[in-house]
Structure 1
Amino acid sequence: MRWLTESLAKNKGFLTFMLCMFMFRSAIADWNVVPTGSMQPTIQIGDRILVDKAAYDVRVPFTHVSLHHVADPKRGDIVVLDSSAAGERLVKRVIGIPGDRVALVQNHLTINGVAADYQPIAVQGIQDDREDPALYAVERVGATHHAVRWSIAQQGHTSDFGPVTIPPGQYLLLGDNRDNSADSRYFGFFPRNEIMGRATRVAVSLNPANHYLPRSGRWGAALQ
């Protein structure tokens, strides 16, 4: 046991640093690899995104216990959550907050009686477009706007719902890739206490379709 004690003593500084780093990543800021295309075109496969873990709550490290409530997620935020229903960590966009009345018909949103406006846009460089051609548009409801992707092959076969009223403490989350996202249409509303942080920007982007070489123009890009 003496060698173990000596080894721990020699590496005390390193171990302290590692513990502090893990605590920081757990409670303050972290980064996540995005392996799927459910948030395309906003987040692409291979993006590493920065997550502000203190955007909504200051939590006890390594737990979901909130020490201090900072704010609640807003409509349009991209959030990271530990979903018990999905059994994994998810990255989705907040579409409806508590009290909102939301409907999705033929991939067109209506929130609190206001129909979203859609303006077509051109998007380049999405890997899935080669096998699954898609349409892109900016979806705008009031002051909230962001890009969405619709699979051409899925037009007319959408997951319609609503109108539904979101209960207290729950959120309706969707992926920007509307025809290829497991979200509230599959898992229902997501509890507020499962939302662990807000995704703010792309830290690093590597292209898995091109030998994981860096994608130019995406490093440090803000997420909208």
Structure 2
Amino acid sequence: MNIDFPLILMIATLATGVIALADKLLLARKRADGAAEPFLIEQSKSFFPVLAVVFVLRSFIAEPFQIPSASMEPGLIEGDFILVSKFHYGLRMPVWGNTLVPVGEPEHGDVMVFFPPNDNRYFIKRVIGLPGDHIEYHQGQLTVNGQKVDMKPLGGEPVYRPVNYFVQEQLGEHQAKIQWAVNPAASQNGEVMVATGPEGAWDVPEGQYFMMGDNRGNSSDSRFWGFVPEKNIVGKAVAIWMHWKSWSDLPSFSRNTWIN
């Protein structure tokens, strides 16, 4: 079951705030001198300032998320805790997502948190296509508006997930390390055969974005479920601040870094 935490937080903040305000303006005057505050009023007055601060911070400043899958390997791995800036793409109305104050817009190569179409789960992928772009992806080669994205083979095998192959893409101002799964059964004469994921060509509609995971052969992204509406944007991923894969492990800060 997916819990809509932003909605719950907004309702809790409003409810405790209304109760605290009603007590200040009306109810407190009617109580006898020295009478104890009812439990609900006491708790509301205690929790409202805390809820209000949390609501403002996570709605307009920054919000923490945990990476739940391998779709953004090798840059972001399962168990990474990341910080997402909520103001890079403009101040947005909590829950509804419409822009209140425009500040900036997504750029090619940004790592972005969002809601996919017809899904209330948070996703994180890289921005590949902006509104109006023409995107092509064939045999691992990404092309944006007729220009092939520079791609440099790196080879390699990560220690956390062996039998993978790396390339480096230059997308806008971002250098992204892309991961492909090696298919040993298909490799012949020393030539590496990799699974690069679904291929195709897409025209990005106005007001929408085309997203892909860095783990191209193992990512549920716009190649499967289509474009991301502008109102579904949550924020820009800016930093890894902790790695903690499971409760049986100790948290680690060795992966702390800015996200490119």
* Structure-2-length-normalised TM-score: 0.75
Take 1:24 and 1:125, find their aligned partners in 2: how far apart are those partners? Answer: 36
Residues 93/116 of structure 1: CA separation in 2 closer, same or farther (3 Å cut):
same
Highest Rg: 1 or 2?
2
Give the C-alpha shift of residue 149 in structure 1.
0.4
Query: Match of 2:199?
Result: 160
- Say if 2:130 is the partner of 1:97: yes
2:228 to 162, 169, 190: 190
Higher strand share: 1
1:147-198 Cα distance to aligned partner (Å, 9 max, x none): 0100113835731111x22121111100000011100001111111111100
Letter in 2 for 1:82: F
> Given the superposition, is the C-alpha separation of residues 10 and 196 from structure 1 closer, same or farther in structure 2, using an over 3 Å criterion?
closer
Distance in 1 between residues matched to 2:56 and 2:172, nearest whole Å: 38
Q: In 1, are the aligned partners of 2:71 and 2:213 still within 8 Å (CA)?
A: yes
One of 240, 244, 248 as aligned partner of 1:202: 240
- Does structure 1 retain, via aligned residues, the 8 Å contact 2:180–2:196? no
What is the CA-CA distance between 1:26 and the residue it aligns to? 2.2
Report the equivalent of 2:158. 124
Q: 1:157 to 1:13 in 2, by over 3 A?
A: closer
Q: How many residues align?
A: 216
Flag the 1:3–1:134 CA change in 2: closer, same or farther, 3 A: farther
Identity over aligned residues, as a percent?
Answer: 31
Shift in CA distance, 47/190, structure 1 to aligned 2, threshold 3 Å: same
Runs of 4+ more than 6 Å apart: none
| Structure 1 alignment gaps of length 5 or more | none
Give the one of 179, 194, 213 matched to 1:149: 179
CA contact (8 A) 2:109 2:173 kept: no
| TM-score, with structure 1 as normaliser | 0.86
Distance (Å, rounded) in 2 between the aligned partners of 1:147 and 1:4: 59
Aligned to 1:79: 112
1:111 counterpart (144, 152, 155): 144
Are residue 24 (structure 1) and residue 29 (structure 2) matched?
no
Between 1 and 2, higher relative CO (CA 8 Å, sep ≥ 6) is seen in 1
Q: Secondary structure at the residue paired with 1:198?
A: strand
Please tell me whether the aligned partners of residues 23 and 62 of structure 1 are also in contact (alpha carbons under 8 angstroms). Answer: no
> 2:210 matched to 1:172?
yes
Moved more, 12-21 or 27-36: 12-21
Cα deviation, 1:184-223, whole Å, max 9, x if unaligned, reads 0011111111111000000211244x9433345212x100
Aligned residues: CA RMSD? 2.4
| 1:212 matched residue in structure 2 | 249
Alpha-carbon separation, structure 1, partners of 2:94 and 2:150: 41
Of 61, 76, 92 in structure 2, the residue corresponding to residue 43 of structure 1 is 76
